[in-house]
Amino acid sequence: SSAMKGGYPNYMLKEIHEQPEALRSTIIPRVREGNLPDLSKDGIPHNILDNVNRIIITACGTAMHAGLIGRVMFERLLRIPVTVEIASEFRYQNPIMDKNTLVITISQSGETADTLAALRLAKAGNAKTLSIVNVKGSSIARESDYVLYTHAGPEIAVASTKAYTCQLSCLYLLAFAFALEKGRLSEEDCSKEMENLLQIIPAIEKTLTFHSLAEDISRNLKDCEDLFFIGRGLDYALSCEGSIKLKEISYIHSEAYAAGELKHGTLSLVTEGTPVIALATQANVYSKMISNIREVRARGAMVILITNGSDLIDSSICDYHFALPYLAGDFAPFTAAIVLQMLAYYTSVGRGLDVDQPRNLAKSVTVE
């Protein structure tokens, strides 16, 4: 009913706009005095990483894409090897794990059959298990040793939006809490990271005001056959999510490509007018990204550039530019995710499709 949609035309738009509040509810209860992360109220022991020499993140769909971001953050801050496994693959590959492995499962519903089976396998393999789940008391939450809930509230639209950004925030909280415990971040540096994490909330509010730009651009996307998302590092992980979001609800084919890998194949698909959504929020690979954008530009691509702040050395390299509110540290995935959600949303609406209920897809998949 329209009352349940709070005045929005559909759930997806409502849920996109609920992100500042959802993130506030997820992050704030986990901040203690001195702006330090505190997971004790969640029952997560501070020394959970003792003896852990390996982390495996397993999930499906969008939750798995959140895991890809988590891996980058964990490895950067903890220097512990992390792999991300699609739950339906993990189950059947006789995974290597033992009591020194931490398996993190991520699930909005907490009921995805493959993710639940992956969790049971992890327990049978003596791994420690921690889940990031949105639905209280769901099967995955009940069966995990530890749970860190996302407080996104009910998510109705099939395409996940607020659950995804809340999953990211939980992964960042874990990374900071672990890094503090392991002495890899000083209290001072950790509290700086936490302050920066809190800055994502006003930054997302600001990013949501770019909806008319997203809507304008979507008019140029809605009739294309396929398009590309490119990025490096965290931006590549986010590209995977941007691409699935668009495919799910607009039925336009797209591919996420690590920007440096384009020239090893996919560049042959870029021709006059091919839309390329280029994520360039990562300072350490910014100039590399710019040369990758020049490569697609030279083949006639229509470039939609997303940067952290107004970092643009050459405005002739793009047709459209989202200059995200500048965020210090590694937090641009939060704001860039909002842009990708809005592009997918307006493209779907522009094509006259049912954004909340895309064909053939279900919100929660309890079959294997």
Query: Footprint of ligand G6P on this chain (CB under 6 A)?
Result: 60-63, 107-109, 112, 115, 158, 160, 361-365
Q: Kindly tell me which of 60 and 270 has the beta carbon lying closer to ligand G6P.
A: 60
Distance, in Å, from the CA atom of 343 to the CA atom of 221, rounded to the nearest integer, reads 9
Q: Kindly tell me which of 115 and 144 has the beta carbon lying closer to ligand G6P.
A: 115
Q: Kindly tell me which of 144 and 160 has the beta carbon lying closer to ligand G6P.
A: 160
Q: Minimum distance from CB of 249 to ligand G6P (Å)?
A: 10
Q: Kindly tell me which of 108 and 307 has the beta carbon lying closer to ligand G6P.
A: 108
Q: Minimum distance from CB of 43 to ligand G6P (Å)?
A: 21
Q: Minimum distance from CB of 156 to ligand G6P (Å)?
A: 12
Q: What residue is closest to ligand G6P based on CB?
A: 61
- For residue 327, how far is the Cα from the chain centroid? 16
Q: Minimum distance from CB of 191 to ligand G6P (Å)?
A: 31
Q: Do 355 and 249 contact (CB within 8 A), yes or no?
A: yes
Q: Minimum distance from CB of 362 to ligand G6P (Å)?
A: 6
Q: Kindly tell me which of 198 and 365 has the beta carbon lying closer to ligand G6P.
A: 365
Q: Do 103 and 119 contact (CB within 8 A), yes or no?
A: yes
Distance, in Å, from the CA atom of 260 to the CA atom of 262, rounded to the nearest integer, reads 6
> Per this entry, what is the length of the chain?
368
Residue of 275, 213, 286, 267 whose CA lies nearest to 246: 275
Residues near 232 by Cβ (< 8 Å), separated by ≥ 6? 258, 259, 260, 282, 285, 288, 289
For this structure, is 363 an active site residue? yes
- Report the interhelical angle of 332-350 vs 162-181 (nearest 10°): 170
Q: List the beta bridge partners of residue 245.
A: none
First to last CA, the chain: 31
Residue 282 sits at φ, ψ, to 5 deg, of -100, 110
Distance, in Å, from the CA atom of 277 to the CA atom of 214, rounded to the nearest integer, reads 12
Cite the active site residues: 363
